[in-house]
Structures are given as C-alpha cells and as structure tokens.
Chains A and B, each alone.
Chain A
Amino acid sequence: DQQVKQNSPSLSVQEGRISILNCDYTNSMFDYFLWYKKYPAEGPTFLISISSIKDKNEDGRFTVFLNKSAKHLSLHIVPSQPGDSAVYFCAARPLGATNKLIFGTGTLLAVQP
C-alpha cells in the first residue's frame, strides 16, 4: 500500500519555465512533508519541507504548497535550470515518528536548455 504517491514518473520543462512536481498521500497522520532531490548513484539531498500546520513554504526558487483537504502537496521550481534535472522524491513523516520517512516513487525532472 503506497501511502505517498507521485503519479508522474517524469516531467520535461524548458529552462526558465516553472516546474511543478506533485505528490499525493493517503494518511492523515503525517505531520511533516519533505522534498528530496536525487542524482543517479547518489543519496537524496534535502530540498525543502513543510509542516502540516502550514500551507506554503518558500526558499529561493523552491516553493512547496500543501493542500490538506485534498491530501496533496506540490513543489514549484521557478525559474527552472538545467542543473535542476534530477529525481525528486516527496516524503512524509508520520506523527510522532521522528525522521521515519515514507517516500514517494519519485519524479524524474528534465530541464531542457
């Protein structure tokens, strides 16, 4: 049972445009959501997070939106750069389970120059 889902396995965007990566979850007992970026043969690196009590968090070119009623979060990257090309994982943390993250299946983002 996949509690965290990323339904788009891949996304292609032109440089300078906005990239929107989506993530859906089924468990209401998640209290924290995170986005990680992963290059091939490397471990994930933390990108941005959002608490379940917020609906938006922004850090430079990256913004995460949380819609709790829809159990949906999205990562916006604007403007997209070729160096952003990677696999992006969303992850959710169950309430009370510090750092025991549940990951989505990932979305491969390709930013075309």
Chain B
Amino acid sequence: DAKTTQPPSMDCAEGRAANLPCNHSTISGNEYVYWYRQIHSQGPQYIIHGLKNNETNEMASLIITEDRKSSTLILPHATLRDTAVYYCIVRVQRTSGSRLTFGEGTQLTVNP
C-alpha cells in the first residue's frame, strides 16, 4: 500500500471548515483513499473513502486531485467533538483482506 504524508497537527476554530491535507504521491491506479479518525480512547471511526472522484457524505467531503497524488478531507462546520486524530490511508482493492496501514495521522484540535 502507498505511503501517505500528513501534517502532525492542525487547529481549527469551531464553526469553520477544517481542511486536512494528505499526500500520497506514489498511489497506484487501483488504490483507494480512506479517511478514519480516532477520538481519544476510542476505536477509529470510518469517515469517507474514494478512488478518483470527489465524494461527500453526512460527515465530510473528500477532494482528490486529478493526478490522485494528494487529497483533502473537509469537515464543513467543525465542532469541538471533531477534535481527534485523522488518518489518511491508501489501500489496494483486494479480493481478500481488510488490512489497513495506519500512519501517524493529523491531530486536529477544534478550538471554541
């Protein structure tokens, strides 16, 4: 699976959009981009994933560049409860296996 690079930490004001970048310059054509987050002392929570098109769900939006070498997770109106470590993961589409390779992630702190 391709390696990802994320900033170690970011701050965001409550109510504002949080834009979390991820670099995955060695991504292959069949690798998906996944985002998970982990609130302290809990298990990671799935947020969103995509292959090449931009995706949106009730939690967030995922913007993938045309060359697929980077992506941005957007939380449109961050709240204090969005304070967490956010992990960007790229993953090969396999016919078997649910292995995720977690990096160090980005600690997002939402400030009041």
A and B interact physically: no
Q: Interface residues, chain B, CB within 8 Å of chain A? A: none
Q: Which A residues fall within an 8 A CB radius of B?
A: none
